[in-house]
Amino acid sequence: MDQAFAKFQPLALSLLRFITGLVLLQYGIAKIFKFPVVPYFANIPPLITVAGAIELIGGALLLLGLFTRPVAFILSGQMACAYFIGHMFKGADPVFLPLLNGGTLAIALCFTCLYIATAGGGPISADAAIKKS
């Protein structure tokens, strides 16, 4: 079973990178361009606007697989900050349970981006195409 799945590992890495970039890109678009309309992003503070710009640019670069490792590392740090700044201190007391503070996606994206930063963009990426030429 390991050998059957192992041959798909490089393609799965490219797919993981692409989908992660797509998820981050949609959050960046919603925060910067207010599309689609998300009531939570209606009146956002400047820090969230900066986060949206990082998600917009970083998500697009992840989609393309361009500068994958440094971009994924930056996005991993940004998602860690998103959890600790935006989610952990919701309410009167710090809530360390992501299910209760809404930080589940931030944690998942943090560690997904950290993995992509260590593994690279995979064979279907601009980085791989540049390396071939």
Residues 62 and 17 sit within 8 Å (Cβ to Cβ): yes
* Residue 38 pLDDT greater than 90, yes or no: no
Per-residue pLDDT averaged across 3-22, rounded?
Answer: 96
Per-residue pLDDT averaged across 15-40, rounded?
Answer: 93
Distance CA 106, CA 76 (A): 9
Distance CA 96, CA 88 (A): 6
Long-range contact pairs involving 87-94 (C-beta distance under 8 Å, separation at least 24):
none
pLDDT tens digits, 59-116: 999 999 999 999 999 999 999 999 999 888 876 667 778 888 889 999 999 999 999 9
